[in-house]
Amino acid sequence: MESFKGKLAVITGAGTGMGRELALALAAEGAHLGLCDVAEETLAETRHAAEALGTGVQVSTFLCDVADEQQMLAFRDHVAAAHETDALHLLFNNAGIGGGGTITDPASRPAWDKTFAVCWGGVLNGVRAFMDMLKAADKAHIINTASINGFWASVGPHTPHTAYSAAKFAVKGFTEALITDLRLNAPHIQCSVVMPGHIGTQIVANSMKVLQQDPAGLGEEAIAAVRAQMVEAGLPVANLPDDDIRGLLRARAMEFEASAPTTAQAAAEIILQGVREQRWRILVGEDAHAIDRLVRENPENAYEPAVIEQMYALGHFKGLVRSVESS
C-alpha cells in the first residue's frame, strides 16, 4: 500500500499523541478517517485539524472505550454508516494507557485490570470488530501498537510495570501469530506490530485521567502504593500529603512528554513508512533499536540494573527511566 490517498483508515486513541499525528499525516495524503477516543474535546480537535489538512477528506469521530467490545462494535457500525462502505483499508489499534503497577497489592487491581483491558483488549476488540470490513477491501493492513515493553518488561529496577508490559507482550505475540493466520485465511490483509521507545505523548497524563474515573485509580490506597515506591527509591516523601503526591505525578507526566527523544509526529512518520514497506516489525526511535539490541545480546541479564547503566552510557532512556523511577 504505497499510497494512502482515497483509503479509509480507522484509528483508536486518536485524540492526542501518535493517534492524532497518524490522523493528520494520513489526512494530508488524502485518506479518509474513522477516529475514536474516550476524550470528546481532544477528539474534536483532531477532527478539525485533519479536515483542514485534507481537501475532500471525510473524517468521522466516535466516543469509544476500546476495552468494551460492544462499544467497539458500535464504532464499527458508525464507521460503515458514516463512510457508506463495507470495506476498511487501514486499522490502527493505537489506544493505550499506562498504569497498574504491582500485582502483589490487591488495591491495585482496578487500575491493573483497566490498563490490561485497554492495551490488550482494545487491540483484540479492534481486530474482531473490523475483520469483516478488512476482508471486504481489496488490500488491507492491521497496525497494532505494542511498545518496547512488549519485548522488555521493565521501566527500570525500582518500578513494577506488570499490567502494561503483559498487555504489550500480548499485542506483540498476537500480531506475530496473525502473520500466519492472515496468510492462510485472508492473504490480502497485512499486519504490523509497532514498538515505540520513549515518545513525546500525553500517555502519562491521559492515563491518570482515565484511571481517576475509577476511585482506585489515584485514590488513597493507590497513592499510598506510589508513596511506598518513592520511599523505597530513596525519596523523602513519607510525610507528604496525598495531593502533593498527585502533584508529583502530574509533574512526572509533563517531564515524560518534554524529555522524549522522539516526537509523536516523527513516530507517525516512521510507522507509516513501515506500512508502506510492508514491514511486520516497526521499531520507533533510536532508543527502541538500542534496547532491542541489548536484550537480544544478553537476555539472561535484561532485567539487571547493569542494563540501565548501558542505556545511560549510550545516551538513551535517561529522561524516561529517571522520570519513572523518581515517581
Residue 155: per-residue pLDDT: 80
Q: What is the CATH number of domain 8-325?
A: 3.40.50.720
Full-model pTM:
0.83
User: Could you tell me the residue ranges of all domains in the chain?
Assistant: 8-325
In the block, which residue shows the cell 475483520? Answer: 131
Residue 324 pLDDT: 37
Angle at the Cα of 83 (from 77 to 87), degrees rounded to 5?
75
Rounded mean pLDDT for each run of 10 residues along the chain, 327 residues in total: 93 96 96 96 96 90 98 98 98 91 84 94 98 98 96 83 94 98 98 90 47 51 65 68 73 61 91 97 93 92 84 64 37
Residues taking part in catalysis: 164
- Please tell me the distance from the alpha carbon of residue 117 to that of residue 113, in angstroms, as a whole number: 6
What pLDDT, on the 0 to 100 scale, is given for residue 313?
Answer: 76
The C-alpha cell 490490561 sits at 116
H helices of the chain, where? 17-28, 40-53, 69-82, 109-116, 122-136, 162-185, 203-212, 220-232, 242-258, 264-276, 286-297, 305-314, 318-325
